[in-house]
């Protein structure tokens, strides 16, 4: 029998203890910031950034992000061809050649990774496959690398991103997407999974993982990739009328073992 999603009360109980640190590490290990900048000017600013979720299926090692992240990179390359793309602090010059599938309809994209790149990134991919969607009202956790948490050094040219994580419940689950409202009552104090500040700029978390918890009949709890973040509230562009504090993620079960995307 397929394990069932655990309720938010159970998720809060788990995260209130040491497992809060364990799950934050899981999020940190399975995703990385992706960003790019021009190489033809001194001290170049970062043009744009997103998040890359890393997952291992029975047939492939994949990076997964939002399709609009790749579209923005292509657009920036057309404007200035001398762009350097990095995943964390590893330069990936052939990134676009690694693309397996892109769905502008769903706004997700898959990229072929290899063991050498994985080793250099120091990441641990999510290994349970296929992806399972969450159930409405059940516990989920989200991660990503917003630009607001980025630190840059003009002297060493190093870039460090802070990891955003949040605990919540799946508010709406459709055949294609999952939505999450940033609700203070479902946040915890004193744990590794911190509540986001009010109107926090989440630009850059597109491509981040939405992970659900499941529990077997024997009460063994485990996690699994459920969706990929594709949309977040834009407070800067809507300062007069603040948008709904909502994240949208596309269900990851649209991705096959090979990385092909089913629309």
Assign residue 26 the CATH number of its domain. 2.40.10.120
Residue 147 located in a structural domain:
yes
Looking at 19-138, which runs of residues are DSSP E strands? Answer: 31-38, 46-56, 61-65, 83-87, 90-91, 99-103, 108-112
Residue 152 located in a structural domain:
yes
Average of per-residue pLDDT across 34-45: 90
What pTM, to 2 d.p., does this model score? 0.86
Among 49-58, 134-143, 214-223, name the one with the lowest average pLDDT: 214-223
Residue 134 located in a structural domain:
yes
- Closest by alpha carbon to 19, among 188, 205, 225, 252? 188
Residue 259 located in a structural domain:
no
**pLDDT for 17:** 60
Q: Which phi and psi angles does 30 have, rounded to 5°?
A: -100, 5
Number of domains in the chain: 1
Which two structure tokens, joined as six digits, stand for 235? Answer: 């407070």
Mind giving me the DSSP string for 192-206?
SSPPPPTT---TT-T
Domain of 144? 4-254
Residue 262 located in a structural domain:
no
Residue 260 located in a structural domain:
no
Confidence of residue 166 (pLDDT cuts 50, 70, 90): confident
Residue 237 located in a structural domain:
yes
Q: CB-hemisphere CA count at 13 Å for 235?
A: 11
Residue 31 located in a structural domain:
yes
Q: What is the pLDDT of residues 225-237, one digit of tens each?
A: 999 999 975 645 5
């Amino acid at each position: 029998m397929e394990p069932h999603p655990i309720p938010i009360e159970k998720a809060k109980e788990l995260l209130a203890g040491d497992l809060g640190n364990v799950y934050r590490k899981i999020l940190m290990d399975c995703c990385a910031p992706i960003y790019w900048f021009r190489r033809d000017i001194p001290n170049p600013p970062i043009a744009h950034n997103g998040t890359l979720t890393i997952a291992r299926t029975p047939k492939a090692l994949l990076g997964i992000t939002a399709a609009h992240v790749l579209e923005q990179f292509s657009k920036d390359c057309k404007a200035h061809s001398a762009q350097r793309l990095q995943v964390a602090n590893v330069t990936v010059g052939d990134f676009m050649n690694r693309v397996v599938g892109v769905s502008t309809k769903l706004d997700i994209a898959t990229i072929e990774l290899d063991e050498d790149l994985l080793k250099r990134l120091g990441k641990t991919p999510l290994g349970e496959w296929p992806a399972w969607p969450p159930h409405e009202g059940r516990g989920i956790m989200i991660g990503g690398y917003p630009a607001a948490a980025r630190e840059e050094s003009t002297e060493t040219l190093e870039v460090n991103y802070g990891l955003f994580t949040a605990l919540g419940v799946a508010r709406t689950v459709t055949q294609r997407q999952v939505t999450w409202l940033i609700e203070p009552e479902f946040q915890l104090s004193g744990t590794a999974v911190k509540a986001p500040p009010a109107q926090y700029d989440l630009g850059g978390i597109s491509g981040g993982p939405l992970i659900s918890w499941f529990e077997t009949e024997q009460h063994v709890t485990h996690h699994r990739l459920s969706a990929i973040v594709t949309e977040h509230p834009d407070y800067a562009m809507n300062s007069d009328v603040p948008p709904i504090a909502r994240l949208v993620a596309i269900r990851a079960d649209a991705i096959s073992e090979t990385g092909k995307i089913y629309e």
